Amino acid sequence: MISIDYAGYIFDFLHKYIYHLFMIFKLDSFTLEGIDAVTVSVEVHLSRGLPEFTIVGLPGKAVNESRQRVRSAVINSGFDFPVKKIIVNLSPADIKKERSFYDLPIALSVLAASGQIQSEVWNKSYFVGELSLNGDINPVSGLISMAEEALNTGKTFFFVPYSIADQVSFISDIKIIACKNLLEAVEALSGRGKIEKFIYKSRNIADRHFCYGFDFKEVKGQFKAKRALEIAVGGRHNIMLVGPPGSGKTMLAKRAVTIMPDLNLEECIDVTKIYSLYKKNVSGLIRERPFRNPHHTISRMGLIGGGINPGPGEISLAHRGILFLDEFSQFPRNFIEDLRQPLENREIVITRNHSSYTFPCNFMLIVATNPCYCGYFGNDSKKCVCSLREIKRFWKKMSGPVMDRMDMRVLVDRLPETSFVDTEYGESSETIKSRINKCMNMQIQRFEGRNIVYNSEAGIDTINEWLKDNKKIRDLISTVSRKYNLTARGMTSILKVSRTIADLEASISIKEHHVIEALNYRVCFNYDNDSDAPINFI
């Protein structure tokens, strides 16, 4: 009889012997499916035969090209590249492998399989990085998503390019090993004592504040538009600015981002996660609120996202910030229609080859447009030269369902000469932001424990709570609904905006004057198909 201990010893010996005989090695890396990271095992097999370097496991073009990068990096780093038949398998094989994530893990696997390096932390680590021909490790995209997945799987170390290690410096439960080149990665792996000096030290971003280069105090006049933008930002309501050329619509919209509350750590992570997919050289956490202003000639894929290997579009790049569509009437109608589902669900789902990719797009939408082709309909200082038929055709280009999702519509008139020459400054962005921060704190307390943050996200159950003990407001809403033929979405929009106005005044309940002000932002100006009566945006 062979004892259990002795049998175990024999098994371990045979396992190591067979492992060495066939020179097989495996370590873990990642791929991306949309914004999510998925673990990929990099398996390397060295055997006798004609020298060959093959990568299998559904590799893309960039992955296949890594053969040349890995070979050059290994040789130029002072190691021997094995003259053998090399097969690299990226498992699972049914997921398409794109981008250059696997250069570093493939190089390390080849060196380990050929017996040139040894380490005790292979099974405790993940590896990502693109190699240059001289062995330097270049940045890759999607690092935060990978770090979160590494954290969930319980690994101890995550080897990343040094130039982008600051992206994941906030993570304390996994040790980030930042390496500048292949030699440093090998040195870190060669002994437990040496790995400590490559651990990237976390940096505190809690007190960092991003300073924009413009301010609300630079906007002269336009008090109604400023007030409307303050309300819109306070409750994250979508808003439309309608006015003649030169009235300041773009100037106002660009300064709306300066009065938004600063990004907290969770929001910084969300924004950086998306931007690291968009451009891989994001060095650290992004602290600036996104403000995206795509031109109306943008492609559909550029606006919504997608492609052969789906990536984020402008609506996802505006996540946690503002999407500003200037000259809204010039965007193709089908592009505008594409915004309907993301505005409701706060995410976009793109399906390719039986796989679905989800990208978040929780943004505040600001659109600006002229009231007609010439731009002066309803303007007192300059006469409109458009016919009624032309004005009808102009507004028919706008999507009715998307217009219905605009909680607020504001007329921005041209600035009178007296206001333009006035040298007095208005309220600064910091002053307005302080009021919005208080408004936001009320919403955070109100929606604590729920899956919503802003008044604009409130559902019918929440709205019913606001109206339950407020008969005056219920009666007022009924009267307003009959008079203006409001849709259900129109009524809820008015109530949500009313709640934000009440929050800005620190009012516990919605008052009648809050509803009246919200209604004024819903009905912009009038226009009847058969007469010169007011245009109605309800």
Instruction: Identify the band that residue 530 occupies on the pLDDT scale cut at 50, 70 and 90.
Output: very low
Q: What is the chain's percent helix, strand, coil content, to nearest 5? A: 45, 20, 40
What's the mean pLDDT in 197-226? 76
Q: Is residue 56 classed as helix, strand or coil in its secondary structure? A: strand
**CA distances in angstroms from 233 to 209, 294, 364, 501, listed in the order given:** 19, 20, 8, 11
Phi and psi angles of residue 515, each rounded to the nearest 5 degrees, phi first:
-65, -40
CB neighbour list of residue 525: distance below 8 Å, 6 or more residues apart: 242, 371, 378, 411, 534, 535, 537
In one letter, which amino acid is 445?
Q
- Nearest CA among 228, 292, 224 for reference residue 259: 228
Q: Does residue 535 surpass a pLDDT of 60?
A: no
Q: What pLDDT is attached to residue 256? A: 94
Give DSSP secondary structure letters for 326-382: SSGGGS-HHHHHTTHHHHHHSEEEEEETTEEEEEE---EEEEEE-SSSSS-TT-SSS
| Predicted model pTM | 0.86
The confidence score (pLDDT) of residue 425 equals: 72
Strand order in the sheet with 125-127: 52-56, 85-91, 36-47, 24-33, 125-127, 157-161, 175-179
Label the pairing between strands 239-242 and 364-369.
parallel
Tens of pLDDT, residue by residue over 147-205, are 999 999 989 999 999 999 988 888 888 999 999 999 999 999 987 668 888 999 866 55
* Distance separating alpha carbons of residues 432 and 425, to the nearest angstrom: 14
DSSP-derived pairing of the beta strands 239-242 and 175-179: unpaired
Report which listed range, 117-121, 222-226, 364-368, 375-379, is most confident.
Answer: 364-368
pLDDT of residue 12: 57
| pLDDT at site 396 | 81
SS (H, E, C) 419-458: HHCCCCCCCCHHHHHHHHHHHHHHHHHHCCCCCCCCHHHC
Give the other-Cβ count within 10 Å of 118's Cβ. Answer: 11
**Gyration radius from the chain CA atoms:** 29
pLDDT at 498: 96
User: Tokens 């750590």 appear where?
Assistant: 265
pLDDT-above-90 percentage for the chain? 55
What pLDDT sits at residue 431? 93
Predicted local confidence at residue 76, as pLDDT? 96
Q: Give the C-alpha separation, 97 to 117, whole Å.
A: 26
For the cut 80, the answer to whether the pLDDT of residue 6 exceeds it is no
Closest to 106 measured CA to CA, from 166, 34, 57: 57
**pLDDT of 229:** 96
Instruction: Give pLDDT tens digits for 316-331.
Output: 999 999 999 999 989 9
More confidently predicted of 531 and 466: 466
For the chain, domains (ranges, CATH) are 22-198 (3.30.230.10), 216-534 (3.40.50.300)
**pLDDT in the model for residue 89:** 96
Q: What is the per-residue pLDDT for 203?
A: 60
Each residue of 239-294: pLDDT tens digit?
999 999 888 899 999 999 999 999 988 899 999 999 988 877 777 788 899 999 99
Summarised one tens digit per residue, pLDDT across range 339-352 is 988 998 899 998 87
Q: Answer whether 64's CB lies under 8 Å from 106's CB.
A: no
In whole angstroms, give the CA distance from residue 159 to residue 144: 13
Mean pLDDT is lowest, of 60-64, 189-193, 502-506, for: 189-193
Report percent pLDDT > 70 for the chain: 89
pLDDT of residue 120 exceeding 50, the answer is: yes
Q: In the structure encoding, which two tokens stand for residue 35, read together?
A: 């914004």
| Farthest CA pair distance, the chain | 107
List of residues 6+ apart from 502 with CB closer than 8 A: 508, 509, 510, 511, 514
d(C-alpha 110, C-alpha 108), whole Å: 5
Contact 389, 219 (CB under 8 A): no
